[in-house]
Each structure stands twice: as structure tokens, then as C-alpha cells.
Amino acid sequence: MIIYETLRLYGPSNGLQRRVTREVQLGKLVLPANIDILVQNIALHNDPCQWGDDVHLFKPERFEEGIAKTTNYNAAAFFPFGLGPRSCVGMSFAITETKVALSMILQRYTITLSPAYVHSPMPILAIRPQHGIQVILKSLHNNA
Ligand code: HEM
């Protein structure tokens, strides 16, 4: 839940590039052939119509019943790893690696945010914290 909510608000990708190969109609919108479009998943991840008025709050419990229920079975509501045949091949690896790293850290330390931390996510190629993330680690074991 924590990983999904982090990817919703601060996923590294802020858009998927696609080329329109033939004219298509999307509702009232007609997309001509041979244009490049940017599908901004970050905008959909911050859409209050999908996520509610507290869209900007970090609330991992949104995902307590899984992605499908949280998004009301709308695959286009949450796609931090992209969508379709060119979606991220590293998705399972990335999620597993994150779980392993987090569980190794949390077995040894408690983590709190440093008072020096300034919240400022910025799109610099990928979304990243402009001033870094300063945390305070406290060992859970006396001998560590
Ligand atoms: C949190 C970590 C990651 C995120 C959020 C992420 C996200 C994405 C996104 C949004 C795309 C574009 C998908 C599309 O256009 O529909 C992508 C493509 C790709 N990702 Fe990742 N990725 C992550 C980690 C990784 C890792 C660890 C690997 C490799 C081990 C990887 C390998 C790739 C490759 C090869 C593509 C291109 C796939 C293609 O064009 O067919 N990614 N990723």
C-alpha cells in the first residue's frame, strides 16, 4: 500500500510518449495521424474525480483492497509503470527490490523525517525531491 501510494504521488515517470499512427476519435477529441502525444499519468494520479478531495494527501490505506478495487477497475486511473504492450518490463523486479530494501532497513532502524526536510518534488527528467530527503535513522539494536 505504501509503495503504491508513493508511486501514485511521486512515481518517477511523469508521462508516457506515444505516436498516433492513424486518425482516432477519443470522445469529442480527434487525434490526427503522425503526431506525438504525452499521456500524463501524473495528472491522472492527481485527479480528484478519481481519488477524492484528499487526492494530495499521502494515504496508503487507499490501496487496502488492492489496485483494482481502489481504481474501480479502471486500468487507466493508476499506471506508474505505463500501460499496454510497451509497459515497464522491470515492474515486478522494481516492486520486489523496494520491498526487500525497505524490510532490511525496517528490521534494523526506525526512520523519521529530519526537521531539515523541505517537501519539493520536482520533474527533473524523472520526479525527484529537489532538496533530497533527509531522514533520521535510529538503530533498533544496541550493538548496531
Ligand atoms: C519504480 C521503478 C520503475 C518505474 C516507476 C518504471 C516506470 C516505467 C515506465 C512508466 C515506462 C514506460 C512504459 C510505457 O511507455 O507504457 C517504463 C519502461 C521501461 N522500464 Fe521501467 N520503471 C521502473 C523500474 C524499472 C527497472 C528496475 C527496470 C529494469 C530492470 C526497468 C526497465 C524498463 C524498460 C526496459 C522499459 C521499456 C519497455 C519497452 O519500451 O518495451 N524499469 N518504466
Decide if 144 is inside a domain. no
Q: What is the pLDDT of residue 143?
A: 64
Q: What is the mean pLDDT of the chain?
A: 94
Whether 67 is covered by a domain: the verdict is yes
The phi and psi torsions of 97 (rounded to 5 degrees) equal: -60, -40
Domain extent, residue 63, equals: 2-88
Whether residue 136 lies inside any domain: the answer is no
Is 121 part of a structural domain of the chain?
no
Position 79 in a domain? yes
Per the annotation, does 88 bind a ligand?
yes
86-98 pLDDT per residue, tens = 999 999 999 999 9
What's the distance, Cα to Cα, between the start and end of the chain in Å?
Answer: 29
Checking if the pLDDT of 126 tops 90, the result is no
C-beta 95 within 6 A of ligand 1: no
In what helix (H) or strand (E) does residue 42 lie, and over which residues does it extend? helix 41-45
Distance from the CA of 114 to the center of ligand 1, in angstroms? 31
Question: Does 88 contact ligand 1 (Cβ within 6 A)?
Answer: yes
6: in domain: yes
- DSSP notation for 60-127: GGGGTT-HHHHTTT-TTS--TT--STTS-TTHHHHHHHHHHHHHHHHHHEEEEE-TT----EEEESEE
> For ligand 1, is residue 1 a contact (CB within 6 Å)?
no
Q: Which pLDDT value is given to residue 125? A: 82
Residue 122 inside a domain? The answer is no
Atom 9 (ligand 1) nearest CA = 81
> Which residue lies with its CA nearest to atom 18 of ligand 1?
88
**pLDDT for 21-76, tens place per residue?**
999 999 999 999 999 999 999 999 999 999 999 999 999 999 999 999 999 999 98
pLDDT tier at 142 (50, 70, 90 boundaries)? Answer: confident
In this structure, is residue 34 part of a structural domain? yes
Amino acid at 64: E
CB 8 within 8 A of CB 78: yes
The total of structural domains in the chain comes to: 1
How much is the pLDDT for 141?
87
